[in-house]
Structure 1
Amino acid sequence: MKKSKVFFAIIVAVVMFNIMAPHSKAEFTYQFEPEAWQLHRLGLFAGASVHTFNPDLGAPLTRQVGVTLLLNFFGKRSDVEAMTPSEISGLLSKYKDQSEISEWARPYLAYAVKTGMVVGTSGDTISPNNVLDGYSLAALILRQLGYVVDRTNFTRSLELLSKVGGIAANEVGLFNKSRLLKDHGVGMIYTVLFASTADGQKVAEKLIESGYISVDKAVAYNLASYTGDGCVEIKDPSAAKRPSLYDQIYYGIYEALANFETYLSLPESSYTDTPQKVFKLIERCLRENPELLYYSGCIYFSDGTVKLQYSKDSITGIRHQNALKQRIKEIVTKVVAPGMSEYEKELALHDYLIENCKYDRRSYENKEIPQESFNAYGALCLGTAVCEGYAEAMKLLLNRAGVECHIVTGVSKGERHAWNIVKIDGETYHLDATYNDPVMLDGRDIIRYHYFNLSDEEIETDHEWDETLYPSCNSTRYNYYVYNSLIVSDTHEFIRRAVEEVNAGNTKLTFRIQNAEGFDYVSAVRAVCNRLYRKCSVTFNEAFGIVDMVF
């Protein structure tokens, strides 16, 4: 059962709000504005304003601006801030043009001089306002990566930056300019995330290891992905794409929801020119990121402002989000063993969820379901959920384990419902953990596999969804019954297999009858019990032809 938990409203704005989240309302002006926002959200670019983010991309990329950008990007801000005023003055004292250095840039240029990142333009000048060209910025970057750039290869610095995984080969000409704007600098620096240092390690990997970029942000912003062994893998430079305007908007929504911000002002674009498009963007962001909790709806104003609303206060919501992230990490570390296949990870996490979460039947029957039961926090931290909580928990666990998983919303048995589509060895399957965790009248806890890796055709028996929105599922290779050879052809094989399994010490059996039409499960189970001189409890899923027995 899935209950709608959000609402939308459209209001003609007649007043201006005094408190606004720091999201740009300006039109998309500069080529690398999405990169600027992405770097800002990763904590690598502060912008030109203290209180709101202003990338100031139209400004010339002077030496002092370029050095500041690079040092912040490479995680040196704390080292810069640790320098004393006297040390800064001493390092810059030999330059007669030091008065031209902006106050905010003095510690950065002093640090650059101290570390050899830059030298004066002459014996007694540093020329802080000289505008960098493409070769000069590329050379500065390469030196920070540990490569040698001198007079012999300076004019090839752009090509060298491309070869080590920075800018694309077809972008060399774009950045070969005699005077760069800050926009160009941001565009070049963004690609350095995927570049390799002289010791062979990717820059993003180093920044994550040092804690300068959090793992959660690296994964959320598609810079890296979980591998399932407790590590993250940086995107391959050849596969990594530059962020688009759509990404800028999408991640702006993500950031606002993650921080429980109240107001959001989105850039004017074809993605946000109607309220309906904005609502769909928010819904997609929530569906793809179920770690975002307690969003309850929004109000769209005609000036483009969106007021976000939540069912819990920000302190509680953020505390629950952090607890959920920690719980996911603990579960995957505990359940997923090194060397497990994708199928084995899926099975282990599926079983863990069902063994440790109960369907919130009482709240469902009373029609008073708490918000926690609709999300993964309820499923994994409280041990109680309805279908949406199961589906969100399954997605988060599998994604953390390095298995692709999506949430599907549709209808089942006359009610709104949520389940998953998983990708195992390149093939997609339906997985419904809720239906695999049945509520038994006698209170028993059992695990079923009736809805474990079904094809579209199989799950269409009792599920409906908009198939145009999700990948097709046509394979049966990793269906639980196919993969584990639990399909029997007729009554005789069923009796034989069941007797063999019990004699081998197995007390919980499940089989799928290949042709269930006319199969008399009562007589078949009675025959098994008579041969074994034992009793058992039995259930029969007529739609799928599946018999479950517990001896």
Structure 2
Amino acid sequence: MNHIFKLLIAIVLLLSITPMHVFAASPSSMTITKSEEQTAYDNIVKSLLNAETNTTFNASKISYKDIGKIVNQALANNPSISYYNGLTASSNGTINFKYKADRKVILEKNKKVNLEVDRIIKENIRKGMSDLEKVKSIHDYLVLSVAYDYDNFLKNNVSNDSYEAYGALINEIAVCDGYTKSMALILNKVGVQTIQVTGIANGGNHSWNMVKIDGQYYHVDTTWDDPVPNKPGSVHYNYFLKNTKQLKVDHQWEETAYPVATSSKFNYFHNMNNMVEKDGMYYYSDSKDNLLYKMDKKKLKKTKVLGDKAPYFAIQGQWIYYSNYSNGGYLYKVKLNGKEKKQINSIHSEVMFIKENILYFQNTKTKKNLKLVL
């Protein structure tokens, strides 16, 4: 009687402030050179992308014990794979996959995600953009469009969708895996090499991305740049394009499995609390003093706009609307050149953004959302 040995590989959903369940893969093994392993890898990728329940491998050449490693590589290399929930590999050369949804549902959701990715690219990526501009554009889009699934996390009730790109791009609510997969899906499609990284942060499982710009790798944790609870219109850059040494302060991962990021070229982003890009300039509230500055994108020359503390602001035309923390957090406006400053209200106002010529902001005391037609 032939004995079939089975290896059960399951994903354990460890919910934390930044839950994840994506497997990591060594970039050095992104291209599998052994022909039999390559065939098995190709079969696995094809099956997982199509949410198929089984595939095969050459058991005379590959041990069933090595299938888990190949699947991990497939998952890390293909952010389009979704709702995967484990496998059983047998010594007779068969692999049975498990999913967290029916195949028909998965394929329908994947179709919606692909259409949404195309829409996002069309609306946010322009011809001639540098890789830096592409990365920043998609980083900003995800932070502004997606809310961290915080309420469900607190209730220990995070849905399967929130771990997928579907949660981030369609439901607009996700945990770190949703942000990470979406970032990889979009950036890879516009020609920016992007790696999914898994590790630990805040004592819990976490995922984020590495991107390659001008030959150098950088870490981008889009999830941690999105304020929690969600603050519409707010984008942070504390974890945007960090090197390995900087990220190691509060993130841990198997460093030997990923490229080493050494460049500090984009450190200037890390001091930007809320930033608006306009006419070749970065307008931002400095994280050190909360004063409003502007920086020429090409020359990287920093200039103070005005001496008021302005942690929250938005720009419309030639006007900056801001919460003046040097005077009760009241709503003010000032020209882009720092002139013609004027007080608008006597309400502590914050969390502001502009949409269709309307300034939306929040009364800090009452938590009521208010708006001002510009």
TM-score by length of 2: 0.68
The residue type paired with residue 261 of structure 1 is E
Shift in Å, 1:487: 10
User: Among residues 240, 259, 264, which one is paired with 2:55 in the alignment?
Assistant: 264
1:497 is paired with a residue whose SS is: strand
Q: CA deviation at 1:333?
A: 1.4
* CA distance in 1: counterparts of 2:249 and 2:93, whole angstroms: 43
Mapped to 2, the partners of 1:328 and 1:408 lie a distance apart of 21
Name the amino acid aligned to 1:364: F
Partner of 1:497: 304
Matched residue type, 1:473: A
Conservation of the 8 A alpha-carbon contact between 2:63 and 2:91: no
Measure the CA separation in 1 of the matches of 2:307 and 2:320.
9
Counterpart among 63, 67, 70 of residue 273 in structure 1: 63
Over residues 425-448 of structure 1, what are the superposed CA-to-partner deviations in whole Å (9 max), with x where a residue is unaligned?
11111101111111237x545211
Which residue in the other structure is 1:304 paired with?
93
Q: Distance in 2 between matches of 1:263 and 1:359?
A: 34
Aligned pair partner of 2:41 in 250, 273, 292:
250
Structure 1 letter corresponding to 2:146: C
Question: Which residue of 120, 139, 153 corresponds with 1:350?
Answer: 139
Deviation at 1:527, TM superposition (A): 8.5
Aligned partner letter, 1:255: K
Q: For residue 499 of structure 1, give the secondary structure of its aligned residue in structure 2.
A: strand
Residues 244 and 261 of structure 2 are in contact (CA less than 8 Å); yes or no, is this contact kept in structure 1?
Answer: yes
Count, aligned residues: 291
Q: Take 2:287 and 2:124, find their aligned partners in 1: how far apart are those partners?
A: 34
Instruction: Report which of the two has the higher share of strand.
Output: 2
What is the alpha-carbon distance in structure 2 between the residues aligned to residue 413 and residue 351 of structure 1?
A: 23
Residue 420, structure 1, aligned to residue 209, structure 2: yes
Distance 2:82 2:32 in 1: 29
- 1:293-332 deviation line (CA, Å, top 9, x unaligned): 1111111223232111111111111111122112111211
Following superposition, the deviation at residue 340 of structure 1 comes to 0.7
Distance 2:144 2:115 in 1: 19
Partner of 1:110: none
Q: Give TM-score scaled by structure 1 length.
A: 0.47
The 8 Å contact of residues 294 and 371 in structure 1, kept in 2 or not, is answered as: yes
Identity of counterpart residues, as a percentage? 29
- Contact kept, 8 Å, 1:449 with 1:480, in 2: the verdict is no
Task: Return 5+ residue gaps in structure 2 as ranges.
Answer: 1-17, 24-29, 273-281, 294-302, 333-340, 352-362, 365-374
- Mapped to 2, the partners of 1:311 and 1:334 lie a distance apart of 32
Question: Residues 406 and 508 (structure 1 numbering): CA distance in 2 closer, same or farther, change over 3 Å?
Answer: farther
The residue that corresponds to 1:80 in the other structure is none
Q: Is residue 361 of structure 1 aligned with residue 150 of structure 2?
A: yes
Matching of residues 148-547 of structure 1 within 5 Å: 244-268=35-59, 272-275=62-65, 277-440=66-229, 444-479=232-267, 481=269, 497=304, 499=306, 505-507=319-321, 526=326
Instruction: Indicate the RMSD between aligned Cα atoms, in angstroms.
Output: 3.7
Q: Secondary structure at the match of 2:223?
A: coil
The residue type paired with residue 268 of structure 1 is: A
**Offset, 1:268:** 3.3
Structure 1, gaps ≥5 residues long: 7-221, 223-239, 510-523, 539-549
Structure 2 counterpart of 1:92: none
Q: Give the whole-Å Cα distance in 2 for the aligned partners of 1:450 and 1:251.
A: 38
Instruction: Give me the whole-angstrom Cα distance separating, in 1, the residues matched to 2:287 and 2:99.
Output: 53
Deviates more, 1:247-256 or 1:390-399: 247-256
- 8 Å contact kept, 1:481–1:487: no
Between the aligned partners of 1:299 and 1:372, the Cα distance in structure 2 is 23
| Cα pair distance change 1:306/1:489, threshold 3 Å | closer
Q: CA deviation at 1:251?
A: 1.0
Distance across 1 between alignment mates of 2:254 and 2:22:
20
Kindly provide the CA deviation profile for residues 406-457 of structure 1, in whole angstroms up to 9, marking residues without a partner as x.
111001111100100011111111101111111237x545211111101111
**SS at 1:253's partner residue?**
helix
Counterpart of 1:288 in structure 2: which amino acid? N
Displacement of 1:2 in angstroms is 2.0
| Deviation of 1:347 (Å) | 1.0
Superposition pairs for residues 88-107 of structure 1, below 5 Å? none
